[in-house]
Each structure stands twice: as C-alpha cells, then as structure tokens.
C-alpha cells in the first residue's frame, strides 16, 4: 500500500490536481476520514488542497481570515511538529470546542487531528493534517508510525509542489525554472536529460561521467547517490543525501522519483535531483528543519538538537532519560544520514539551513 501512495505523492508534486486523490489514499491508510495539505509563506496567501469531500470547507477556510487563523492552525504553526502529533494534546478542551474550524469539522463527523509541519528551504511551511471520525476516537501510535513512514516522501514531494505554488507544471522548461534550486532530470540509467542554469553553475559539486551521467565529487556521498538512483520503487533508500566538500558549503541533495504523469511531463525522465544549501550560523536549527533535510526520526531529531545546543552525548542521554547505548545507536544513525562521522562535524552541519541565492 505505502509504495503506491509514495508513487502518487511524487506524481502530485508536479501534477497538482492529483493532490486530492493522494490525500484521500493517505487518509484511508491512516484510518482517517479527512485530510488536507496547507502551505504557509510570508507575504503570500495561504494555499491548500484537501480530499474531495472537504474541498468546499478548504475553499471556505482559505477565503476567511477568522478560519485561516483558527486556534488549531495558529497553534500548529507555532509548534511546527517535526513528526506527526496529536493536535488535541496541544489544545485545551475549551479551545477544541470553540475552534471555528473544529466546529465545522464536527458537523461533518470529524474529530481527532494528526498534524506534521515540514519546512521548505525557501521559507515556506507545508503542513499535512488528517482527521479521524468522531466515532473512531483518538489516533493510536500505529497511525502516527504509518504517517511518519511516509513523511520524508511528503517532504520531498512538497519541496517541488510549493515551488510550483501548488499549481500544475505546464511544461518541463517551466517546471525547471520555477523550482528555483539547482536541479537536473536523470534517466533510470543515470544519464542527464536536462539541467537548469543553477545546476550548471555547480562546478565543484558534480562530476561528469561516461555516457552522459553525473557523479558526486565526494566518494561516500556518491555511493549513497547511486544507491538512491538504483533503488526499486518502494524500497527504503537514501533520498536526502548530505554532500560536503572543501571547496563549497555543504548541501543536501534530494532525489525525487518522477512517477506517472510527472514522468511524462519531464520527457520520460525518471528522477529529479534537487540541491538545497546548508550553511553554518550561530543559531540552533528548528527540529523541523532537521527532519525535512535529513529524514531523521523524532528521537534522532531530539538528540541532534541537544548536541547542537552544546550538550555532551552523556548529558543528552540523561536529559532524554535514555540509556547511553541507546543514544549511541541514535548518533550512529544520524552520522549515516548526515554524512558526518564526528560530533563536531555534525554540530557544524546542523547549525542552520538557508536556500540558494539566485
């Protein structure tokens, strides 16, 4: 079930009218009855897509400022949960009763909410929200676990969707221009079909290979990159790959499979490769940025954030009330996902994230 949903997510990334159907499939898989995607951006109207049964309410919410800034929406925009969470646990009983959107949802038989917020490198927030039926009670841990399994793919699909403004890409050239980040379209054999100007300027990040392919200059990063290109549909593979070299700031390379209509849109291309810049600063990053960039689990995010704040591994274990051996295991996983092998390297990488400059 999940591999088919993931394929549909990557199709919807470029074919916006597919969002209602893919949200409906996620809704069903997560034992829910409602589902929606919202995009928040400074200075821009809130945008959104919903399952077909809720599109009327979505249109009402987007047109009404009182509804757009309901208690639940404001609270989740502030909390920005990295993994899917129970929205009701962040609200009082009275807030749930009085929230204008919740009133309308209850009239449609919808109750408990699950939500995750995913930051985009250009500053937008993609927020996925699902609702259980009133008679079905609260979300259970297995529901959150299933949604979190798909969250990294939701993040990568959203990266393309928000750059296109949740509108359909009208053509390959337009899509590549609107992405606004270094991007290349690759065939299944790794051969480059198309690049944009930002990608062409990245002289230190990529190396040309025989028969029109590309490789990453860093050998270990290139190994992960080739694994991502070779992975079968639905197979767990590294699709957000941190890349470091001595000549340029570190970046994260996202590999988006081009599925169904998106495959045709890009002239039969099989992958879109998009680079997101990372640069160090004095600021500790938001945990949601870590999940969006590196596919970290909630436990890994908490550990990474603690280390970025200056805690030792032992102190981070004590703060989380975990065995030292457990956090050591988490740290090794974080090293693999971020392409680092020392805590000092990890902390430098996790300080902040910024989009590419045009």
Pairing state of beta strands 206-209 and 47-50?
Answer: unpaired
Mean predicted confidence (pLDDT) in 17-41: 96
Q: Which pLDDT score, from 0 to 100, does residue 358 have?
A: 38
Q: Which pLDDT score, from 0 to 100, does residue 277 have?
A: 75
Banded pLDDT at 357 (limits 50, 70, 90) = very low
Predicted confidence (pLDDT) per residue in 228-243, tens digit: 888 765 566 668 888 8
* SS3 track for the chain: CHHHHHHHHHHHCCCHHHHHHHHHHHHHHCCCCEEEEEEECCCCCCEEEECHHHHHHHHHHHHCHHHHCCHHHHHHHHHCCCCCEEHHHHCCHHHHHHCHHHHHHHHCCEEEEEEEEEECCCCCEEEEEEEEEHHHCCCCHHHHHHHHHHHHHHHHHHHHHHHCCCCCCCCHHHHHHHHCCCEEEECCCCEEEEECHHHHCCCCCEEEEHHHEEEECCHHHHHHHHHHHHCCCCCCCCCEEEEEECCEEEEEEEEEECCCHHHHHCCCCCEEEEEEEECCCCCCCCHHHHHHHHCCCHHHHHHHHHHHCCCCHHHHHHHHCCCHHHHHHHHHHHHHHHCCCCHHHHHHHHCCECCCCC
Q: Which pLDDT score, from 0 to 100, does residue 258 have?
A: 93
- For 51, what's the count of Cα atoms within 13 Å in the CB-facing half-sphere? 16
Most confident by average pLDDT, 236-245, 253-262, 349-358: 253-262
Banded pLDDT at 288 (limits 50, 70, 90) = low
Domain boundaries, the chain: 2-163, 172-277, 287-350
Banded pLDDT at 14 (limits 50, 70, 90) = very high
Q: Which pLDDT score, from 0 to 100, does residue 203 have?
A: 79
Banded pLDDT at 183 (limits 50, 70, 90) = very high
Please name the fold of domain 287-350. Answer: Arc Repressor Mutant, subunit A (1.10.10)
pTM of the model: 0.83
Predicted confidence (pLDDT) per residue in 70-111, tens digit: 899 889 888 888 789 999 999 999 999 999 999 999 999 999
Q: Reply yes or no on whether the pLDDT at 351 is more than 70.
A: no
Please report, rounded to a whole number, the percentage of residues in the chain having pLDDT higher than 90.
49
CATH code linked to domain 2-163: 3.30.450.80
Mean predicted confidence (pLDDT) in 296-301: 83
Q: Reply yes or no on whether the pLDDT at 188 is more than 50.
A: yes
Mean predicted confidence (pLDDT) in 42-67: 91
Q: Reply yes or no on whether the pLDDT at 17 is more than 80.
A: yes
Give the residue, 234 or 137, on which the prediction is more confident: 137
Mean predicted confidence (pLDDT) in 193-205: 88
Cα separation values, 145 from 44, 118, 298, Å: 32, 16, 11
Give the residue, 152 or 244, on which the prediction is more confident: 152
Closest CA to 160 of 174, 144, 178: 178
Q: Which pLDDT score, from 0 to 100, does residue 347 have?
A: 82
Burial of 134 (0-12, 13-18, 19+ CB in 10 A): middle
Contact 221, 238 (CB under 8 A): no
| Average pLDDT over the chain, rounded to an integer | 87
Q: Reply yes or no on whether the pLDDT at 355 is more than 60.
A: no
Q: Which pLDDT score, from 0 to 100, does residue 232 have?
A: 65
Mean predicted confidence (pLDDT) in 158-182: 89
Tokens 């849109």 map to which residue? Answer: 265
Q: Which pLDDT score, from 0 to 100, does residue 249 have?
A: 67
Cα separation values, 232 from 7, 22, 197, 270, Å: 11, 21, 30, 12
Tell me phi and psi for residue 123, to 5 degrees: 105, -10
Banded pLDDT at 206 (limits 50, 70, 90) = confident
- Which segment of 190-204, 235-249, 255-269, 307-321 scores lowest on mean pLDDT? 235-249
Rounded (10°) angle between helices 287-294 and 141-163: 80
User: Domain 172-277 classified CATH 3.30.450?
Assistant: yes
For 218-234, b/e burial (b = at least 16 CB within 10 A) is beebbebbeebbeeeee
Tell me phi and psi for residue 357, to 5 degrees: -90, 135
Banded pLDDT at 356 (limits 50, 70, 90) = very low
Q: Reply yes or no on whether the pLDDT at 282 is more than 60.
A: no
- Which segment of 4-8, 15-19, 207-211 scores lowest on mean pLDDT? 207-211
Q: Which pLDDT score, from 0 to 100, does residue 122 have?
A: 65
Domain 2-163 matches domain 287-350 at the CATH topology level = no
Q: Reply yes or no on whether the pLDDT at 295 is more than 70.
A: yes
Give the residue, 282 or 99, on which the prediction is more confident: 99
């Amino acid at each position: 079930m999940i591999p088919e949903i993931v394929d549909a997510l990557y199709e919807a990334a470029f074919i916006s009218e597919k969002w209602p159907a893919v949200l409906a499939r996620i809704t069903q898989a997560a034992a829910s009855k409602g589902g929606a995607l919202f995009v928040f951006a400074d200075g821009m109207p809130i945008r959104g897509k919903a399952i077909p049964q809720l599109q009327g309410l979505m249109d009402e919410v987007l047109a009404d400022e009182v509804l757009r800034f309901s208690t639940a929406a404001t609270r989740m925009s502030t909390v920005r949960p990295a993994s899917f969470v129970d929205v009701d646990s962040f609200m009082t009983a009275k807030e749930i009763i009085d929230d204008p959107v919740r009133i309308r949802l209850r009239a449609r038989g919808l109750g408990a909410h699950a939500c995750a917020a995913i930051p985009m490198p250009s500053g937008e927030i993609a927020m996925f929200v699902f609702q259980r039926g009133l008679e079905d009670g609260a979300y259970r841990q297995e529901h959150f676990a299933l949604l979190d399994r798909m969250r990294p793919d939701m993040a990568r699909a959203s990266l393309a969707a928000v750059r296109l403004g949740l509108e359909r890409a009208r053509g390959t050239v337009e899509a590549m221009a609107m992405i606004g980040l270094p991007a290349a379209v690759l065939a299944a054999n790794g051969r480059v079909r198309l690049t944009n100007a930002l990608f062409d300027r990245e002289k230190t990040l990529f190396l040309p290979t025989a028969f029109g392919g590309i490789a990453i200059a860093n050998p270990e990063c290139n190994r992960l990159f080739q694994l991502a290109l070779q992975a079968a549909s639905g197979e767990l593979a590294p699709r957000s790959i941190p890349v470091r070299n001595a000549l340029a700031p570190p970046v994260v390379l996202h590999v988006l499979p081009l599925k169904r209509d998106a495959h045709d849109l890009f002239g039969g291309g099989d992958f879109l490769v998009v680079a997101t810049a990372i640069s160090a600063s004095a600021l500790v990053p938001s945990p949601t940025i870590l999940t969006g960039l590196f596919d970290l689990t909630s436990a890994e995010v908490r550990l990474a954030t603690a280390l970025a704040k200056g805690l030792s591994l032992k102190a981070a274990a004590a703060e989380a009330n975990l065995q030292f051996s457990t956090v050591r295991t988490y740290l090794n996983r974080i090293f693999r996902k971020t392409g680092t092998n020392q805590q000092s390297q990890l902390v430098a990488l996790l300080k902040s994230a910024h989009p590419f400059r045009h």
